[in-house]
Chains A and B, each alone.
Chain A
C-alpha cells in the first residue's frame, strides 16, 4: 500500500527532516509511527498526503508514484486517502453533518446519497445525535470523532492520523484507537503517528520508530 524507497526530505537546503527512509506497509495493515516531536512523524505523513514532495527517493501509495503525480491530479489522489488531523481542521461555520458530508460534496455526490453516507459515518463514531450541532459546541474528543467520520466517509483504502489522541485523556484515547482498529478490521490500511508509547504498547501493532528523521526501529506486533 505504501512504499518508501530511500526517501529523504530537506527543508531550506540544510535541515534534514527525513533521511533515507526505506519501508513498506502492506494493504490492510495497521501501523504506528512513533518518535519524539521533531523526529519527522508529521513530515512523513505530509509526504504521503502529497502536501510536500520528497527531496530524494521514491514514494508509492496505492500504486501512485507521488513524484509523477501532476499537481492537477493531487486533489483526486487526496480523495483516496482519509486523514485525521491533530487540530481536527473542522469548519466552524457549518454543522457537524455538513463537515462530515464535505468530502462527498467535493466529489459531487448526489445530496441524498451523501446524506446517507455522512449519517452512517457519524453513526459509526457515535455522534449521529449531534449532527445538527456546530463543532464549537462539542468537546475535544467529540470534535476528533467528527474528524474521523469525515476521514472515513469516502471509504478510503488508506487512513492516516496525526496525533489523533494528542489532547485527550487516556479513556477517550483508548476509545479513539478502538475506532481505528474497527476500520482496520474491515480492511482499511491505517497509519497513526503518535507519541503515546504506553497506549501503543498496549495495542500490539507494527510500530515504526523515527529518531532525527531516521527509521531506527521497525517492530512487528508482538
Chain B
C-alpha cells in the first residue's frame, strides 16, 4: 500500500511530463529530418551521386594504402618468427667438434633451436642456390666454414643482439651474423609508409570536409528564405542545423559505401596478377581484404566526416543569416 501525499507534487510532475514530451518531440524531429534529408538527396540523384563519388575517391587512396600497410604488418609478424642468427665456425674446426659446439650453443639461455650446417652441406646449398656448380667444382677444397643457424627465444632486436654477443664469446665461433639489418630496414619502411598513409588520410579527410561543406553551403543558400522564416518564429540553431547535418551524414555514408565498392573492385582487378606474381616467387600471397571491422571503420569514419563537414558549413552560414 502506498499512501498518496496530501499535496501531489504538481509542479515537478508537469515538469517531468513536459521534458519527456520534449524528448519525444526532439526524437521525432530527428527522425523526420533524417528521412527528409534522404528524400532531398534522392530527388537530385545525379548531383548526390557525384558528391558521393568525390568523397569516395578521396577515401579510396588512404584506405588502400592502409590496407597495404596492414598486410605488411602481417608479413612483419611472420618475419619475426624467422629472425635467426648464423654463427660461423672457424674453418679449422672439425666436424665432430662442430657438433659439440652446436650442443653448447643450444644449451645457452635464450636459444630456442639450433641447426648445424656442415661445410659440405653449406657448399651444397650454395651450389643449389646460385646454380654455379661448374664453377664451384673447379675449386680446390671447400672454402666454406661450418655454421650453426640459431633461432632465438625472443625476436626483439635488443635481445637478439645480446644473444649474438654471448655466442661470439664461445670457443670455435668465428663470427655471428645477424639477419636483422634488412628486417629493421623493412620496419623503417613500414613506419614511413604508415606516416605517409596518415598524412594522406588527414589531407584527404580535409578534402571530404571541403566537398561536403561546399555542397551543404549551397543547400543552405538555396533554403535561406525558409531558414529565415523558421528563425523568426522561434526555431533554435540546432533545429535549423539538423536537416543539414543529416544531409552531410548521408553524403558521407554514401561516399563510404562507394569507396568500399571501389576497394572491392580494385581488389578483384589486381587479384589475378598479384597471385601470379607471388606464385613466380614460390609464395602464396593474396591481397588484403577490408573485412568486417575495416568496413565498419571506413563507413563510420566517412559518415562522421560528412556530418562534421556539414556542421562546419552550417555553423559558418547560420552566423551570417539574420531574419529580416
Q: Please, which residue of chain A has its CB at the minimum distance from the CB of B228?
A: A89
Encode B19-49 as 1/0 by CB contact (under 8 A) with A. Answer: 0011011101100000000000000000000
A83 near B25 (CB under 8 angstroms)?
A: no
Measured in the bound complex, the distance between the Cα atoms of B227 and A88 in whole Å is: 15
The reply on A91 being an interface residue by CB < 8 A is: yes
A105 within 8 A of B: yes
A103 to B28, CA, bound (A): 15
Range of interface residues on B (Cβ < 8 Å): 20 to 34
Contact B232 A106 (CB under 8 A): no
Name which of A14-22, A57-65, A72-80, A168-176 contacts chain B.
A72-80
A102 to B236, CA, bound (A): 13
Please state if B28 and A111 are interface contacts (CB–CB under 8 Å): yes
Docked pose: A109 CA to B26 CA in angstroms? 9
Cα-based distance from A150 to B233 in the complex (angstroms) = 9
- A78: chain B residues within 8 A (beta carbon): 232-234
Does A107 lie within 8 Å of B322, measured CB to CB?
no
Chain A residues contacting B144 (CB-CB under 8 Å) are none
CB distance from A141 to the nearest CB of B (A): 20
Most buried by A among B26, B234, B235, B237: B234
Interface size on A, residues (CB 8 A): 24
Asked whether A110 is an interface residue with its Cβ less than 8 Å from the other chain, the reply is yes
Q: Is the CB of A110 within 8 A of B25?
A: yes
> Does B233 contact A51, Cβ atoms closer than 8 Å?
no
Question: Interface digits, A133-171 against B, CB 8 Å rule (1 contact, 0 not)?
Answer: 000000000000000001000000000000000000000
Cβ B239 vs Cβ A106 within 8 A: yes
A12 at the interface (CB under 8 A from B): no
* B29 close to A108 (CB less than 8 A): yes
| CA gap between A51 and B233 in the complex, in Å | 11
Report yes or no: A83 in contact with B233, Cβ–Cβ below 8 A.
Answer: yes
Cβ-closest chain B residue relative to A76: B234
- CB–CB B25/A107 < 8 A: yes
> CA separation between A6 and B209, bound complex, in Å?
49
Q: How far is the CA of A106 from the CA of B242 in the complex (A)?
A: 12
Which A residues are CB-close (under 8 A) to B239?
A: 75, 106
With a CB–CB cut-off of 8 A, which chain A residues contact B174?
none
Within the assembled complex, what's the spacing in Å between the Cα atoms of A78 and B230? Answer: 11
List residues of B whose CB falls within 8 A of some A CB: 21-22, 24-26, 28-29, 225-226, 228-237, 239, 322-323
The 28 listed contacts between A and B (C-beta, < 8 Å) are A49-B232, A51-B232, A51-B323, A72-B236, A75-B236, A76-B234, A76-B236, A78-B234, A79-B233, A79-B234, A91-B225, A91-B226, A93-B226, A102-B230, A102-B233, A103-B234, A106-B233, A106-B234, A106-B239, A107-B25, A108-B22, A108-B26, A108-B28, A108-B29, A110-B24, A110-B25, A111-B28, A150-B233
